[in-house]
């Protein structure tokens, strides 16, 4: 089966500070993953783990320091962004910030259709728009000539998804699509991704810190920590039987909606984010309960345990000098 998107050895380095005190932060460090057609792939981790940077590079907003992105078998070429935006569309975190409050939202739809030369006929445009809106549970009548403030957050996020669907993309990149949406409406957005996957065979790169919805919606998941993918595999195996100590910590820290399952153990929190970024060996070594000497100096290899990729010395077997 051909892959829809292949990301290979992607790295992004940011430099911090002035000329005198430079610090280099590898926000994305040698990240490789792929997405199959009609699959929801979750990229999860804490803020500052590099998941949004990865998405921005895939979307072409940011240039990678090294690495390649292959979409539908085609390699990314510099100065050629059209293949990206037509086949890959983005959905952003804050639906209120997605749309200009002084413009009616239907403007964006007509504009997208014109810009991609999908149609210049207004009647056909309205037909297409109505069709796309119905796929997300809205209709053209209740949407035409309205300003963003006339919709609720959940509705706006649906509209934002409908707009992304206009170009018939094969991949949606959703960066925290439900974190700004009300708890009561969250599930309807998440269910919508499922529906799009089943009916239109659209793949979704679902970027989130909410492991509970990631578990619910996605097929495969990658857990990122300080620029590295530390664990990747089928969601059922990664989240129900976590192997990397960081995944274990994340999994334990999710408040379960069950008063019988309260936290009993205490956690230690990281003091400074960029210290962890600058760590030589495993970046989690400072907080890991089972950290050994080698963890502090040697970067662990990616090891496959069954279908799951783990980046931890614990699974790498005996150390070869």
Partner 1 sequence: MNETILRAEKLKAFYVLDLHGTQKVVKAVNEVDLEIYENEVYGIAGESGCGKTTLLKALFGAIEPPLRLMGGKVYYRWNGRRIDARALSREGSEIEITALSPEEKRRLRLEFASYVPQGSMSVLNPVLKVKESYQDFLASHVSGKTREQAFEMAKRHIAELGLPRNILEAYPHQLSGGMRQRVTIALATILKPRIIICDEPTTALDVVVQRGVVQLLKDIQRNLENTIILVTHDMGVQANIADRIGIMYAGKMVEESTTAKIYAEPFHPYTRYLINSLPKFGDKSDREGVPGSPPSLINPPSGCSFHPRCPRAMDICTKQIPGFTSLEADHKVACWLAGDGEHDQAA
Instruction: With contacts defined by CB under 8 A, name the span among 27-35, 62-70, 197-205, 244-252 that binds partner 1.
Output: 244-252
Report d(CA 279, CA 124) in Å as an integer: 56
Instruction: With contacts defined by CB under 8 A, name the span among 124-132, 148-156, 197-205, 295-303 that binds partner 1.
Output: 148-156
HEC profile for 232-294? EEEHHHHHHCCCCHHHHHHHHHCCCCCCCCCCCCCCCCCCCHHHHHCCCCCCCCCCCCCCCHH
- For residue 25, what are the contacts with CB-CB under 8 A and spacing of at least 6? 13, 14, 15, 16, 274, 277, 278
| Strand, helix or coil for residue 134 | helix
Residue choice 273, 290, 301, 307 for contact with partner 1 (CB under 8 A):
273
Instruction: With contacts defined by CB under 8 A, name the span among 3-11, 184-192, 197-205, 303-311 that binds partner 1.
Output: 184-192
Residue choice 202, 205, 232, 239 for contact with partner 1 (CB under 8 A):
239
Q: Does residue 154 belong to the site contacting partner 1 (CB under 8 A)?
A: yes
Helix and strand totals (H; E) in the chain: 12, 12
Report d(CA 175, CA 179) in Å as an integer: 9
Q: Does residue 223 belong to the site contacting partner 1 (CB under 8 A)?
A: no
Query: Binding mask 11-50 vs partner 1 (x if CB under 8 A, - otherwise)?
Result: -----------------------------------xx---
Quote the least distance from Cβ 152 to partner 1, whole Å. Answer: 4
Q: Does residue 249 belong to the site contacting partner 1 (CB under 8 A)?
A: yes
- Are 196 and 167 in contact, with CB atoms under 8 Å apart? no
Q: How many residues bind partner 1 (CB under 8 A)?
A: 45
Question: Would you tell me which residues interact with partner 1 (CB under 8 A)?
Answer: 46-47, 152-155, 182-191, 209, 211-213, 215-216, 239-240, 249-251, 253-263, 266-267, 269-273
């Amino acid at each position: 089966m051909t892959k829809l998107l292949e990301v290979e050895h992607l790295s992004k380095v940011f430099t911090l500070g002035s000329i005198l005190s430079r610090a280099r932060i590898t926000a994305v460090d040698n990240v490789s993953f792929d997405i199959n057609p009609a699959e929801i792939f979750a990229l999860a981790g804490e803020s500052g783990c590099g998941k949004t940077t990865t998405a921005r590079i895939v979307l072409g907003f940011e240039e990678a320091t090294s690495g390649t992105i292959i979409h539908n078998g085609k390699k990314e070429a510099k100065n050629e962004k059209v293949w990206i935006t037509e086949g890959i569309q983005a959905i952003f975190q804050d639906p209120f910030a997605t749309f200009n409050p002084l413009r009616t939202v239907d403007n964006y739809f007509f504009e997208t259709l014109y810009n991609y030369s999908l149609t210049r006929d207004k009647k056909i445009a309205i037909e297409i728009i109505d069709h796309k809106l119905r796929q997300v549970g809205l209709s053209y009548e209740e949407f035409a000539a309205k300003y963003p403030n006339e919709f609720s957050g959940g509705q706006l996020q649906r509209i934002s998804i409908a707009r992304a669907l206009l170009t018939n993309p094969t991949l949606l990149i959703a960066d925290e699509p439900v974190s700004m949406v009300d708890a009561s409406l969250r599930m309807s957005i998440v269910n919508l991704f499922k529906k799009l996957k089943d009916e239109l065979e659209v793949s979704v790169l679902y970027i989130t810190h909410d492991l509970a919805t990631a578990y619910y919606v996605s097929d495969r998941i990658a857990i990122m920590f300080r620029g590295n993918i530390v664990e990747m595999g089928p969601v059922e195996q990664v989240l129900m039987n976590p192997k990397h100590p960081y995944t274990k910590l994340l999994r334990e820290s999710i408040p379960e909606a069950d008063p019988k399952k309260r936290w009993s153990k205490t956690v230690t929190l990281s003091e400074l984010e960029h210290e962890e970024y600058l760590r030589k060996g495993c970046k989690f070594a400072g907080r890991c309960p089972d950290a050994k000497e080698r963890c502090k100096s040697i970067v662990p290899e990616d090891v496959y345990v069954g279908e799951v990729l783990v980046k931890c010395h614990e699974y790498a077997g005996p150390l070869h000098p």
